[in-house]
Structure formats: C-alpha cells, structure tokens
Amino acid sequence: MRRSKLTYTALSALLILGGWSAAGTVPAAATGSAVSTPAGTARTASSKPAADGLVTAMQRDLRLTRTQAKARIAAERAAATLDPKVRKTAGNAYAGSWFDAGQGRLTVALTKAAPASTRRAIEASGARVRTAAHSARQLDATKTRLDRLTAPAGVSGWHVDPKASTVVVDVVRQDRADNDVRAFLSRARQAGPVTVRTVAAAPRTFAAGTVGGDPYYTGNVRCSIGFSVYGGFVTAGHCGSPGAGVNGWDGSYIGTFQGSSFPDNDYAWVSVGSGWWTVPVVLGWGTVSDQLVRGSAVAPVGSSICRSGSTSHWHCGTVLALNETVNYSQGAVHELTKTSVCAEPGDSGGSFISGDQAQGVTSGGWGNCSSGGETWFQPVNEILNRYGLTLATATARRRPAPAP
C-alpha cells in the first residue's frame, strides 16, 4: 500500500495517525483546507452524516446492524453536545455522566442534595437522571489523593466510575496477594470511596522496535501519527524526546519533536517540513474510508470510538472511563481515557476518533487485536492546550497550505 513521496506531496498528505506509510488515497473531500480551530477548543459535534466506512467498522466491532450503527452515531453526537450543558446546570450536585447505549441518550448522575428544579431542567434537556452517593467533586478528590501515592507494578491504574459512584482501582490478577499491592489498597481505601477490580494483565505502551510496515521512526522506535495540527502533528510522548528527529516510511526526514512528556503525561508534538504537508484526515487502511476530522468534542463514557494505527490499522470499541491514572512500568501517567479498543506495538501515538471528532492519541494498553484487550489514549484537547497548538479540521473551501 505504499506510495511514492511525490504522490504524498501531490495529495498534500502528511500521513495522519497510525502509520506514516500506507496512506491510501485521500478522499475527494480531504482536498479541502485545513481550517484553524482555537487551541484547545472543542468544536461542536458535526451534523454531517457518518461515513459508510465508519458505519461498517462499527457493525463489525460493536456487532450492530447498519441502522443501529447510524442511530448510535447520531445519538452520541447529541450526547456530546449536551454533556457540557448539563454539567453546568447540575453545578455542585453533578456526580458524573455517560452515554447509555441501551437508552440511546446521555445519563446524568446527581447527588441527593440536587434541587428538584435542577433534576427537571436536566430531564427536560433530554438526558436521563440518576441519583448517586457521591458528587463528581468528591470522587475526583479521592482520585487525586491516589495520584499522590506511589503504586507497585501489580496495580495497573485507577479511575472514577460515575455509574458506580466510586473510584475503581485495577489490580493485576496474579499480583492480588502481593504485600505491596495490599499495602497500596489499604492506603487507597482510606482516601475515599474505592472499589478494587481484578484485571487480566498490566498495561504497556505500544511503541515498537524497527520493523517492516508503515511506520514513522525516531531512532529505533516506530510509532503512529495522531492528528494534524498547524505546523505538524501530535503523537505519544513515549515515542520520542524533544529535539529527536523523525523519519517517514521511505526514510526521508519529516521533522523534529518540539515537545514531549512521559511519564506523568504521554503526549508530544512534531513539527514538519521538508515537503511534508498536514491534512485533517485519519487513515482508514482500506478497512474504512479515510476519515475527515471536523473537531474535537469529547465523547462521553459509553460512546463508540475507533482507533487507527500503523500495526493493527483500524479497530473500534467504546469509551470505558475518563481521567484514569495508568501505572506503566516507566511510571504513572494521568488523565488518560480508557477504551475497549485493541492495539498492538507500533500503534502508539495513533488516532482515536469518535465520528468525525478527534479524541486523542494512543498511549498503551494490554492484549492484542487477535484476543482482544483494552487501550488508553491521551485526550487531544489536553495536548492542544499544553503546547498552544491548533487542530487541523476539514472544510471544502480552500486547498491546504504547506506547513511552515
């Protein structure tokens, strides 16, 4: 599936996401311009119809009919737009929210102290209301206390679960009886409402040594592009350090890591030049059509989401948790989003997208795309805010200009 560098230049295509090499043909709509979005600002979810390829992938990975997939995409767009509004309406009584796939709408948890008028207002907006034992502020405070602790390797991570109104601590099954794990859990339970869950394996990052395929390289590491921004692209921090040079699938020089953070965070951005261009496209790898990026509205827990990467290409699943702390062997990484999507070495840095809304860059996980697993991503809006970057988004008005 490789193309010549000349073809890439003609298409103004910097291979976004999971692979620097096999870009496939950029769809006709992708020849539109890369229009600026203010740094860190999430645009309202698009009302444009879902691409056929996205619907097909959701049918395959989420076991939906075509009608169900289209209906879910529309409902998730509505939920993503409604979510920030109900948070504001709920105020201090807000206890979390998530997309309920069975109901096809947003569910909002409120504390018992929530005024009846607040409940009525949120229900009138179209969301479903549930009562929770703890406010989101209380749960976030508990998680913050855990973030201050040093976790042993047998503790794979922790996150707020708004459905259960608790902070869930994940422990690797084989390490449950470990003395250090037990000591950590004892301290964790003192921090606030905590529930312990057993998981099959510890997460790992998905960078890879130099292998064949469709990569971008920094040193002997292969990773995947996340999303185009003005002047470059974002990716995972564990893929390279500031100042490190980046080469494309054909060995040609692309650019340089301008900023990178790992652990604590797992994000980076790379400036591009040398004839490489940036376009607002996520590669579908022939599984689906290449996807245009139109914004970065955050998908609530429960929403469908898809990932593109240079090793395992295109796979879909659902959002399982927001703001999770993941305890990699290299150190804890904070504010990650957990998904049921699989990934494999070399997929690190690749794109997570929900509909046409950019969500984040692949960090790590456990499992693989044969047996399944879970994968975490660093939210893209956090990366944009950290480095003052502007996400490249699609219109059909102008052709994209080359990155400076």
Residues annotated catalytic, as ranges: 238, 266, 348
Which tokens is 401 given? Answer: 């200009």
- State the DSSP code for 164: T
| Measured distance CA(246)–CA(20) in Å, rounded | 11
The string of DSSP codes covering 214-264 is S-EEETTEEE---EEETTEEEE-GGG--TT-EEE-TTS-EEEEEEEEE-SB
| Measured distance CA(43)–CA(393) in Å, rounded | 10
Q: Cis (ω within 30 of 0) for the bond into 263?
A: yes
| Measured distance CA(287)–CA(56) in Å, rounded | 9
CA within 13 Å, CB half, 126: 14
Residue 319 host element (H or E): strand 313-328
The string of DSSP codes covering 322-344 is EEEEEEETTEEEEEEEEES----
CA within 13 Å, CB half, 33: 7
**φ, ψ (nearest 5 deg) of residue 163:** -65, -40
| Measured distance CA(237)–CA(378) in Å, rounded | 10
Residue that is written with structure tokens 């749960």 in the block: 139
Distances 35 to 30, 49, 194, 294 between C-alpha atoms, Å: 12, 20, 44, 9
Which tokens is 211 given? Answer: 């292998």
Taking a C-beta distance cutoff of 8 angstroms, is the pair 158, 143 a contact? Answer: yes
**φ, ψ (nearest 5 deg) of residue 305:** -155, 150
Taking a C-beta distance cutoff of 8 angstroms, is the pair 261, 243 a contact? Answer: no
